Amino acid sequence: MRTRIKFCGLTREADVEAAAEVGADAVGFVFFEKSPRAVSAARAKALARHVAPWMSIVGLFVNASASQIRALADEVGLSHVQLHGDETPEQCMHLGRPVIKAIRIDAQTQEPALVKSIQAYADCGALLFDADSEGFGGSGHSFDWSLIAPLASSLRGRWVLSGGLHEQSVSQAIALLAPPALDVSSGIELLQQGQTVKGVKDAQRMQAFMRAVAQADQERNGA
């Protein structure tokens, strides 16, 4: 089994092309205006021209209306919609694309509340587990993975791990949880004086992340 990988928050053509070159399965464009990684519909449409034909294109939205999501998805050519806000289960339906609903987890989250959220959004295409943050994702922070471990099998392979992933941490995540897919943003961004440049990806960090995942997959599969 191979772990699928999505690189999110891309803003440059070179980064989209690098994602394809290293073998990412999907790229994500952020349509949340308050995000430092946000792109306009026109910009996303230009970036989409550089996406390899075998890759998925995911649009990330936060509390957008259904009409906005559908119109933008059609204009850009999104294959999936990722919702990171306070959308209700009903608001995740009828968007014209498979929906990935983010479940935000903080230090106060307990397993019963997490189970309740999973059940509420069971009709979504997949669930994405991420650390809660003011910016609705992309914080570079992780969460307590042990909350997910006892629930993973019940998700039937329809979930994504996100939050604080990078080339040093991803092997531990795969060994502990065996997630079917990973979503990484800050963990592949350019570092300047120890700080990430949000929205600017680093091709070398992309490659290092992919190598770390491949190695962890081999160890998990006993290769």
Catalytic one among 15, 92, 130, 183? 130
d(CA 222, CA 218) in angstroms, rounded, equals 6
What single-letter amino acid sits at 79?
Answer: S
Catalytic one among 8, 15, 92, 202? 8
Q: Respond yes or no: is residue 130 known to be catalytic.
A: yes
Q: Respond yes or no: is residue 8 known to be catalytic.
A: yes
- Residue 29 contacts residue 47 (beta carbons within 8 Å): yes
Q: 3-state SS string over the chain?
A: CCCEEEEECCCCHHHHHHHHHHCCCEEEEECCCCCCCECCHHHHHHHHCCCCCCCEEEEEECCCCHHHHHHHHHHHCCCEEEECCCCCCHHHCCCCCCEEEEEEECCCCCHHHHHHHHHHCCCCCEEEEEECCCCCCCCCCCCCHHHCCCCHHHHCCCEEEECCCCCCCHHHHHHHHCCCEEEECHHHEEEECCEEEEEEECHHHHHHHHHHHHHHHHHHCCC
- 124's tokens: 């979504």
What residues act catalytically?
Answer: 8, 130
